[in-house]
Amino acid sequence: MTQGEPQVRSGPGRLLVAVYGVFALAATSRAGVQIATKFAEAPLAYLLSAFAAVVYIVLTVALARNNRRVALAACSIELAGVLIVGTLSLADSQAFPDATVWSGYGSGYGFVPLLLPVLGLVWLLRRRRPAA
């Protein structure tokens, strides 16, 4: 961290770290239980759950450590993931017999998974401009 570089993690950023931390915890434990106990029932959905968990963990760590580039990349992947999985889960419910965090655009979690990457991107990009 060099002097004068805008902080990603303090202020509103700290709120994002907290929420992402909760989601990382929730998604990891959910995916862990699903894969450990009933993986054969819906392998695709459970692998996606695990992938989502990894993205949330990376984001939490990147934000907490002020790593803007990694956070931006992970945020973009997250947004793409929510949109793609959300659309697929509605279009082809056969492939998703069990819910993932991102099913139905995160409707099982009050659409927070859809809102989070948008807020994250807004925060990360807004802080870039007044960097001087």
Partner 1 sequence: MTAAYSGWVIAAALLLALAGIVTAVRDRTMGVVLLGGLALLEVALLVQAGIALSGIGHVREKATFIGYLAGTLVIPPAAVWWGMAERTRWGPGVIAVAGFTVAVMTGRLMQIWNGAA
Give residue 94's Cα distance to chain centre: 24
Supply 129's token pair: 């401009």
Examine residue 33 and tell whether it contacts partner 1 (CB under 8 A). yes
Return the range that interacts with partner 1 (CB under 8 A); candidates 33-41, 49-57, 82-90, 123-131: 33-41
Whichever of 87 and 93 has its CB closer to partner 1, that residue is 93
Tokens coding 36? 């450990």
Q: Does 45 bind partner 1 (CB under 8 A)?
A: no
Residue 18 interacts with partner 1 (CB under 8 A)? yes
91 vs 9, 85, 109, CA distance in Å? 37, 10, 19
Among residues 11, 90, 122, 125, the one that binds partner 1 under rule CB under 8 A: 11
Q: Is 28 helix (H, G, I), strand (E, B) or coil?
A: helix
Q: How far apart are CA 86 and CA 88, in angstroms?
A: 6
What is the residue whose two structure tokens read 């996606």?
48
What is the closest distance, in whole angstroms, from the C-beta atom of residue 41 to partner 1 in the complex? 13
Q: How far is the CB of 29 from partner 1 (least distance, A)?
A: 5
Contact yes or no for 97/41 (Cβ under 8 A): yes
Smallest distance from partner 1 to CB 57, Å: 15
Sequence length of the chain is 132
Among 14, 66, 88, 127, binds partner 1 (CB under 8 A): 14
The residue ranges that bind partner 1 (CB under 8 A) are 10-15, 18-19, 22, 25, 29, 33, 36-37
